[in-house]
Amino acid sequence: MEYSISPSEFPVTTLLRRARDTYGLAIRIRLSAEGLSDLPKAGPYFVGGLANGAHTEELAQEMGLTDLQVEELLEALLDGGFVTADEARGADDPLALVLTERGVRAARVIAEAIAHVNQELSNLVGPDEIAGFRSTLAALREIRERTEESLR
């Protein structure tokens, strides 16, 4: 796509929004190809997070979901066969979930899609640029956390 201005002149917010969509698109395409297109929109973040040892509450907080949104997402993940209650912790923690075989498959597909985008990114800009980009994103996250803290 051709633009009348250089990408370096785009507002950072615009670039972040479009860049984020790159991962989501790659994930959706691969999930669909694997017959997993029924994973809810916020599902890849949750499934990927659970595969990496995160807890449901942490993931919901990170995404800024309301209790109702969490309930709807978990219901869709359970109904879709992506997760099940963690029997070992279930009585003590009703939000403790584990990935099913289908959930593990989805997590693998998600990780592969992310790796593919990361490899393309590395090919385009190189590891030094990516390192600087990660530092910038981490700084933006820190600014957000400080801003949120100031509102409490």
For residue 83, pLDDT over 90 is answered with: yes
Query: What is the model's pLDDT at position 148?
Result: 87
| C-beta separation of 84 from 100 below 8 A | yes
What are the pLDDT digits (tens) for 8-60? 777 888 888 888 889 999 999 999 999 999 999 999 999 999 999 998 889 98
CA torsion sign, 14 to 22 to 32 to 107? negative
CA dihedral 109, 24, 42, 62 (to 10 degrees): 100
Domains and CATH numbers, the chain: 11-151 (1.10.10.10)
| pLDDT one-digit tens code per residue, 138-149 | 999 899 889 988
- Under the banding of pLDDT at 50, 70 and 90, the label for residue 93 is low
Who's near 58: CB < 8 A, 6+ residues apart? Answer: 49
- Quickly state the pLDDT bin for 64 (edges 50, 70, 90): confident
